[in-house]
Amino acid sequence: MKVFGLTGGIGMGKSTAAQLLRQRNFPVVDTDVLAREIVESGQPALREIQETFGRQVIGPDGRLDRAALARIAFADPAARQTLESITHPRIRALWRNQVEIWRAERREVGVVVIPLLFETGAEAELDATICVACSAAAQQIRLQERGWDATQIAQRIAAQWPTEKKIARAHFMVWTEGSPEVLDEQLSRILW
């Protein structure tokens, strides 16, 4: 089995690429989805986050207030590192488990979407890496469409390696400013 890691900067097209791969029946696990699962109500990570960051990161419904936590974590690198020390080991365990399931199923290829792939050293556990990328202008537009202001965008971009550094480390690069068909064609040259 060949396991690909899919990465790229925030707003660069990882989710779109993953969706296209799923449509082609490739097994995909997205660590952003896993990150949401591990902080659901009743999960140990949620309890640890509340103990670490206080009640202000928990909404009235008892669920994680992601916006409140983001304001803390992205404004303070030490707070972000603390949050990552709570979440990253749990996320890594889950995607590793999924890869083992694929191996047991004798899948030929699997894709793990990891925004912080290189930042966390996950490439050592993968057979190849793909970096999706777009221009800084396109990235800004995409992030503004999420409703983020300039400060939020700058904080999130600063929390990741520069796109150029990710591209340089990746085995493959896919440009995401074209149509979904163009993106699909680029992925097809790599995966099938």
pLDDT category at 36 given cuts 50, 70, 90 is very high
Q: What pTM value is reported for the model?
A: 0.93
The pair phi, psi for residue 2, each rounded to 5°, is -110, 125
The pair phi, psi for residue 149, each rounded to 5°, is -90, 175
CA atoms of 181 and 37, how far apart (whole Å): 31
CA atoms of 150 and 152, how far apart (whole Å): 6
Residues 6+ apart with CB under 8 A from 178: none
Average pLDDT over residues 9-23: 96
DSSP 19-43: HHHHHTT--EEEHHHHHHHTTSTT-
Q: Has domain 2-191 been given CATH number 2.60.40.10?
A: no
Average pLDDT over residues 29-50: 97
pLDDT score of 192 more than 90: no
pLDDT score of 172 more than 90: yes
The residue extents of the domains of the chain are 2-191
pLDDT tens digits, 86-121: 999 999 999 999 999 999 999 999 999 999 999 999
What confidence score (pLDDT) does residue 161 get? Answer: 96
Average pLDDT over residues 23-45: 97
